[in-house]
Amino acid sequence: ELADTDGFVAKQRHWQAGQPVPYASLVATFTQIEATSKRTEITTHLTAFFLLVIRLSPQELLKTVYLCINRLCPDYVGLELGIGESILEKAIAESTGRSLAKIKADLRKEGDLGLVAMMSRNTQPTMFKPKPLTVSSVFGKLTEIAKVAGNSSQSKKIGIIKSLLAASVDTEAKFIIRSLEGKLRIRLAERTVLVAVAWAMVLRDLGPKMRSKEQLTIELEEGANVVKSVYSELPSYEHVIPALLEGGIVGLRERCKLTPGIPLKPMLAKPTKAIGEVLDRFEGKQFTCEYKYDGERAQVHRSEDGSVKIFSRNSEDMSAKYPDIIEQLPKVSCIMYIPLGLCHGNQCIQADTSSFVLDAEAVAVERDTGKLLPFQELSRRKRKDVKAEDVQVKVCLFAFDLLYLNGQPLLHTDLASRRQLLHKSFQPIAGEFSFAQSSDGSSTEEIQAFLDQSVKDGCEGLMVKMLESDASFYEPSRRSVNWLKLKKDYLSGIGDSLDLVVVGAYHGHGKRTAVYGAFLLACYDSESEQFQVICKIGTGFSDEALQHHYTLLRESEIDVMRSDIAAGQAKPDVWFTPKVVWEVLAADLSLSPVYTAAQGLVEERGISLRFPRFIRVRDDKAPEDATSPEQIAEMYEKQALTQSKGSKRRRGE
């Protein structure tokens, strides 16, 4: 299937070995990808292109990959694309000599500013041929735009965008604008990009050696698995791409390991509705229950050089929010033991603190008593420029896992040993640093009592985790069946809350006339990069909250629905750029001809929420982190199973 590569090379006349990658070649690949919805075809096109980059201009692979995933750096650096629509409209108008009104009218018709830019650019007479854009020059300008700050930043940004548009030909303007908007809209999920990088590396290293189709399939699959797993441990293209270019896939796991300072995507849990479900899952296995604290996830990294960083669930650097935690860490980690294999018998050797990665929850607590306070209290804390001495909302760190200690990753160590090391290596301080409360009791009664106690103590319920064997290894970025969450409040509902994106709204009536009265919510499908609508919600809001949401969401109103929203039969009065994520509860899930969530997963119809109720804003989640169609289908199927068990029980079967 990659034979087509030669034809593709022929088209890239200006691209010679050692030269910069022409942006036109990347855009040609985007266009091929846009024309198909088949995942394997998308992966094949991208593999062919990466293989070319590796052969001709390997030094540009990193920037090429970044442009494919529409990012400029790792998440924790915090440099983001996503320029507001009005700036882009202005830049397109000024650069192509068209009026702003015409650009806006075209946008209303086309629903895609990229397309509008391309059409405006292509009907504009050009006096002389612009110097061709390269992947490197586009990446450089995008970075410049993202970094612009301070006075007259808007006009500076417009200036750079205009220079990019002026140099663009054919379809380039379309993708430049989409990159600036923060979405390429070609259904190119990051997972696919990782697989394509892996396949291209496997093919490079195979060279002209012949393989049977079966053998090749195995090698490609293995390569993809290695790259995906390495990236989940070390999510930094800046490390993984050069390592791949240098040594290929072989030995990559040894060369790229979890490194303090680079946050890994956290392990997540599956929801459960009943203690019986937990016991079914963990039958005959050693497991442990821990308090599920109601705070904010905090991954605490200490590097060999002593620097400490705290990262959020989304790998954002939160160190500036928690100077108090950073200050207290030396006190709690002053006694450190040499880990695992290096212990001689039971005699651990005491040594100086060097490096660690803790997985923990930061929870607001009452200053004098240390009593746990709900998440709402924590959300009152400032996010930036907090000074340790001015902290208003006091926080205690509850450590529940140790992922790295003194130079050694512990991801492939069982939880019982990780916990033992955690307890040995850190010293709790009341109200500041604590270990998560745990109980290893495994009877229904013991779990029920521990669940009740956790709620009395101000927690959301329990996390139940596999304790021994390789099933208890830490699985970065996975929502694993080896971690189950049991939330007290949700035992009677659908088992868990959902995190949904606000994509539209309905005008209010009566005393809600001045604000939105109800909202249209969607889940997110990363495979198709689509927001699939799931329900209309109008319950759970105070008048004050409605006013607040109105002020905030009005800024994201757009005239035309975005093309990445699968709207089904839903017809809200206004559409939004998907930005805001809400946590929502529901009585149950039902099949629906109106909504598109999880369409085709359970049946042709989509799934909707009955009696949805607003719980809170999830500003620690991006729209792409919203609940997925697969999770919704799983919840629906579980509900159907419970209902049929219930009716069997009632019928005495």
Choose one: 136-144, 241-249, 284-292, 532-540; the region binding ligand ATP (CB under 6 A): 284-292
Q: Which residues contact 89 (CB under 8 A, 6 or more apart)?
A: 100, 103, 104, 107, 113
Q: Indicate whether 313 belongs to the interface with ligand ATP (CB under 6 A).
A: yes
One-letter amino acid for residue 445 of the chain: E
Q: Measured at CB, which residue is nearest to ligand ATP?
A: 297
The distance of closest approach from Cβ of residue 630 to ligand ATP in the complex, given in angstroms and rounded to an integer, is: 13
Which residue in 23, 139, 293, 582 binds ligand ATP (CB under 6 A)?
293
Residues between 345 and 374 with contacts to ligand ATP, criterion CB under 6 A: 361
DSSP 8-class letter at 340 = G
Q: Give the Cβ contact number of residue 619 at 10 Å.
A: 11
Q: Indicate whether 115 belongs to the interface with ligand ATP (CB under 6 A).
A: no
DSSP string, 505-552: EEE--GGGTTSEEEEEEEEEETTTTEEEEEEEE--S--HHHHHHHHHH
Q: Indicate whether 269 belongs to the interface with ligand ATP (CB under 6 A).
A: yes
Helix (H, G, I), strand (E, B) or coil at 276: helix
The distance of closest approach from Cβ of residue 547 to ligand ATP in the complex, given in angstroms and rounded to an integer, is: 26
SS (H, E, C) 15-81: CCCCCCCEHHHHHHHHHHHHCCCCHHHHHHHHHHHHHHHHHHCHHHHHHHHHHHHCCCCCHHHCCCC
Which residue in 98, 239, 297, 394 binds ligand ATP (CB under 6 A)?
297
Which of 172, 361 has the CB closer to ligand ATP? Answer: 361
Considering only CA atoms, which of 236, 227, 289, 224 is closest in space to residue 261?
236
Choose one: 112-120, 251-259, 289-297, 335-343; the region binding ligand ATP (CB under 6 A): 289-297
CB 343 within 8 A of CB 320: no
Q: Which residues share a beta bridge with 298?
A: 360
Q: Indicate whether 400 belongs to the interface with ligand ATP (CB under 6 A).
A: yes
Which residue in 87, 268, 338, 393 binds ligand ATP (CB under 6 A)?
268
Choose one: 23-31, 124-132, 254-262, 291-299; the region binding ligand ATP (CB under 6 A): 291-299
The distance of closest approach from Cβ of residue 459 to ligand ATP in the complex, given in angstroms and rounded to an integer, is: 7
Q: Indicate whether 436 belongs to the interface with ligand ATP (CB under 6 A).
A: yes
Which residue reads 């694309």 in tokens? 81
The distance of closest approach from Cβ of residue 494 to ligand ATP in the complex, given in angstroms and rounded to an integer, is: 13
Which residue in 60, 112, 172, 290 binds ligand ATP (CB under 6 A)?
290
Q: Indicate whether 485 belongs to the interface with ligand ATP (CB under 6 A).
A: yes
The distance of closest approach from Cβ of residue 493 to ligand ATP in the complex, given in angstroms and rounded to an integer, is: 14
Which of 324, 460 has the CB closer to ligand ATP? Answer: 460
Which residue in 292, 419, 512, 562 binds ligand ATP (CB under 6 A)?
292
Considering only CA atoms, which of 220, 190, 39, 27 is closest in space to residue 114?
27
The distance of closest approach from Cβ of residue 116 to ligand ATP in the complex, given in angstroms and rounded to an integer, is: 36
Which of 257, 479 has the CB closer to ligand ATP? Answer: 479
Taking the C-alpha atoms of residue 177 and residue 161, their distance in angstroms, rounded to an integer, is 9
Taking the C-alpha atoms of residue 166 and residue 143, their distance in angstroms, rounded to an integer, is 18
The answer to whether residue 511 is catalytic is no
Which of 4, 489 has the CB closer to ligand ATP? Answer: 489
479-487 and 268-272 strand pairing:
parallel
Which of 30, 531 has the CB closer to ligand ATP? Answer: 531
Taking the C-alpha atoms of residue 194 and residue 66, their distance in angstroms, rounded to an integer, is 11
Considering only CA atoms, which of 104, 98, 150, 144 is closest in space to residue 122?
98
The distance of closest approach from Cβ of residue 598 to ligand ATP in the complex, given in angstroms and rounded to an integer, is: 17
Which of 118, 500 has the CB closer to ligand ATP? Answer: 500
Q: Which residues contact 653 (CB under 8 A, 6 or more apart)?
A: none
Which of 175, 400 has the CB closer to ligand ATP? Answer: 400
Which residue in 27, 463, 466, 580 binds ligand ATP (CB under 6 A)?
463
The distance of closest approach from Cβ of residue 290 to ligand ATP in the complex, given in angstroms and rounded to an integer, is: 4
- The sign one gets for the Cα dihedral 346, 350, 351, 352 is positive
Helix (H, G, I), strand (E, B) or coil at 94: helix
Considering only CA atoms, which of 49, 256, 21, 30 is closest in space to residue 140?
21
Helix (H, G, I), strand (E, B) or coil at 309: strand
The distance of closest approach from Cβ of residue 551 to ligand ATP in the complex, given in angstroms and rounded to an integer, is: 25
The distance of closest approach from Cβ of residue 457 to ligand ATP in the complex, given in angstroms and rounded to an integer, is: 12
Which of 478, 548 has the CB closer to ligand ATP? Answer: 478
Q: Give the Cβ contact number of residue 368 at 10 Å.
A: 8
Choose one: 62-70, 205-213, 292-300, 601-609; the region binding ligand ATP (CB under 6 A): 292-300
User: Which entry of 174, 265, 270, 292 is annotated as an active-site residue?
Assistant: 292
Q: Which residues contact 59 (CB under 8 A, 6 or more apart)?
A: none
DSSP 8-class letter at 132 = P
# chain residues binding ligand ATP, by CB under 6 A: 15
Which of 157, 270 has the CB closer to ligand ATP? Answer: 270
CB 308 within 8 A of CB 302: yes
Q: Which residues contact 318 (CB under 8 A, 6 or more apart)?
A: 298, 310, 311, 312, 383
Taking the C-alpha atoms of residue 219 and residue 47, their distance in angstroms, rounded to an integer, is 14
Choose one: 104-112, 162-170, 261-269, 588-596; the region binding ligand ATP (CB under 6 A): 261-269
In the complex, which residues of this chain contact ligand ATP (CB under 6 A)? Answer: 266, 268-269, 290-293, 297, 313, 361, 400, 436, 463, 485, 499
Catalytic residues: 292
